[in-house]
A and B are shown apart, each in its own frame.
Chain A
Amino acid sequence: MSIFLDKNSKVIVQGITGGEGSYHTGRMLDYGTNIVGGVTPGKGGQKSAHGLPVFNTVKEAVDATGATHTCIFVPPPFAADALFEAHAAGITFAVCITEGVPVHDVLKVVAATPGMRIIGPNCPGLISPGKSSIGIMPGHVFKEGNVGVISRSGTLTYEVVDLLTRAGFGQSTAVGIGGDPIIGTTFVDCLREFKNDPQTEALVICGEIGGSDEEDAAAFIKQHMRSVPIVAFIGGRNAPPGKSLGHAGAIISGKFGTPQSKVDAFKAAGVPVADRPSQIPGLLAQRMPASV
């Protein structure tokens, strides 16, 4: 098992003929993702560079292929439209890679797409190692195993996963939830899923300054997941208040979103917080054996 995504998940790519969409479709296919087609309005009936069928609408793609998952690579002004179209066509799982989607568009999407799980926007996607990958994560650093990973960042996730893999901790599913203020799926949403996943025996949470997603996660863990080995890390501990560094969501305003409040919350939930990524495997090893 794994969460959200496995070998059989049928995936389409919205924006499959664009530069980014086409390149990453190739990489996902190489990884083994079951991509069944793509959507580019006006190019229906053609084949993508990878020989996959291209459809004009998501509805046509779903009707023809039975796809349940979509990966969205469209420019920011069209991202909300793409998500609403996916929802209307019956897609139940959408990953939105696009960075720079207006926050009000995202507010409207999350309010009105019941039944569709959205990862992102502004995220690297997710990967269930050895099975399937949706998004832009570099597959070669991952290894199948029993540690679930949740992160707000992309490259920092690769850093952490690389350290885990080298230390003998494989991963069940790694989810990059995205760096924007409003995202479809939060840490807590992921925790609920991991809690019920038999493959996942431990978790690593890579948080970041800004917002209160980490505090919410800590509260959930305290109540529901005390027995699960979990290690956390908070990025951006040395960032100044009032300025977002790179991620729109990574901003400390007043007392909100400070690293200390996140560290305190995790510690209160019995979750050790690594001072640096390289300490994560060691902290995990204190709570469970690696499966080298």
Chain B
Amino acid sequence: MNLMEYQGKELFRRAGIPVPRSQHVTTPDEAAKFVGANPGNWVVKAQVLMGGRGKAGKIQFAKTADEARAKATDIMSSPMPPNRQNPHGEPINSLLIEETLPVAKEAYAAIAIDRTTKKPVIMVSAFGGMDIEEVADKHPESIAKAFVDVAGGYWPFIGRELAFNANLDKGYHKALPSVLAGLYELFFRYGAKLVEINPLVLTEDGRVIAADAKVELDDDALYKNPEFKEWQTTLPLDEDETLATKAGLGIRNFRRFDGTVGTMANGAGLAMGTMDAVKNAGGMFANFLDVGGGADAERVRNCYELVMNNTNAKSFFINIFGGITRCDEVAKGIVEALRTTTSRKVPLVIRLTGTNEEQGRRILADAGMTPVETMDEGAAQAVKLANA
């Protein structure tokens, strides 16, 4: 679960990381009221999960109540436009009104999980305010890293070393160790997968302040912090995640694509393999769908409808290798789906092997269906049917 900027900054505040003075509002009137009561230089920022707010004109400046109302109205008048990573765009439901900082320097600081060392990695760079992937590409040597021993935890020397190794401006040296201490505490306290400050601003009067906040929490750890449930409801699950949840699947188990071959498989690896097989056969898949382990007839039926109602599938390849999942249950689900569904129907290609394969095949045979023998064969047939 990704947090919005104002939520991330709330966590920063709790962890003692300096953030700009700000107010979170949901209407232009509230924006006007706040700025009217607090004269000064303010920046009005759209609260969305997507990047690219500045370029989209969703960050604007205001000094007076009237300006704040006008700018807020303008920002909220249209959603964030689509980009490569988020082809649907994103609605703007709230704004953060924040003091404008007199920026002298911008740096970058983050903590992520390093898979190879199995440790948290703290990253610091003097190139702040730009996309870190671009930095990694153009100035890889500028990113200083420290892998933290989980048992010993974070100590200030790590921050001091990073400040020197990243060649940060001297103005950062005193503050960085404590900013990182807060970031590390937050990282573990709330079970984050990523915490990022970009930019970490050094102001002209020598303050070090987190001007933006990116926090990704571990969905699997949300039960430890029930308070985030409330935030979760304000965060947009994307459409695919919403559809998956409604069908009783995990949020990662369903995703739509542009193709015409619907797919369903058991297990993420096989489901990705099924998409690959469709592509190898010269077709394009309409979706990824992992029906999960031990799927029963009911779940299979829901998944059938999920694909039929939400994709442009012209054929449907169901690829099951039974381990915990039993082929007879899957076969029952398919027969049941076809018997009761009110959704449209497309040609089905079924591959069914593994646990209780014989019973499964018998159930399909009784309903007049014959499964194919291999994944490649099934993919080829499904592609042919989609193109017919």
Contacts and interface: CB of A to CB of B under 8 A. Distances in A.
Interface of A: 76-77, 100-105, 107-108, 110-112, 124, 136-138, 141, 151-159, 162, 179, 181-182, 206, 208-209, 211-213, 216, 235-250, 254-255, 275-278
A254 B136 contact: yes
Given A100-B220, A107-B113, A238-B285, A247 B277 contact: no
Contact of A104 (B151, B191, B353): B191
Nearest to B376: A278
Tell which of A138, A155, A159, A213 has the most Cβ of chain B within 10 Å: A155
**Consensus secondary structure, chain B interface:** mixed
Given A102-B221, A245-B288, A235 B255 contact: no
Contacts of B191: 102-104
Given A136-B323, A138-B354, A246-B288, A103 B113 contact: yes
Interface of B: 85, 113, 115-116, 118-120, 133, 136-137, 149-151, 188, 191, 193, 218, 220-221, 223-224, 250, 252-253, 255, 257, 265-273, 275-277, 279-280, 285, 288, 290, 293, 321-324, 353-355, 374-376
**Consensus secondary structure, chain A interface:** loop
Contacts of A110: 118
Contacts of B285: 238
Given A107-B150, A136-B323, 12 more contacts: A103-B191, A103-B193, A104-B191, A111-B118, A155-B321, A212-B115, A239-B272, A248-B220, A250-B272, A255-B137, A276-B277, A277-B375
A239 to B, nearest CB: 6
3 tightest A-B contacts by CB?
Answer: A153-B269, A246-B268, A155-B267
Given A159-B273, A239-B272, A246 B116 contact: no
A158 B323 contact: yes
A154 B354 contact: no
Nearest to B222: A102
A154 B323 contact: yes
A212 B117 CA distance: 11
A182 B113 contact: yes
B218 to A, nearest CB: 5
Given A245-B252, A246-B290, A238 B269 contact: no
Contacts of A212: 115-116
Contacts of A208: 269, 272
A138 B136 CA distance: 44
Given A238-B285, A275-B280, A124 B252 contact: no
Given A110-B118, A159-B270, A181-B113, A235 B276 contact: yes
Tell which of B218, B223, B266 has the most Cβ of chain A within 10 Å: B218
A18 to B, nearest CB: 14
B321 A162 contact: yes
B275 A238 contact: yes
A79 to B, nearest CB: 10
A249 B116 CA distance: 12
A156 B252 contact: no
Contacts of B275: 236, 238-239
Contact of A154 (B137, B223, B267, B375): B267
A153 B321 CA distance: 12
B151 A153 contact: no
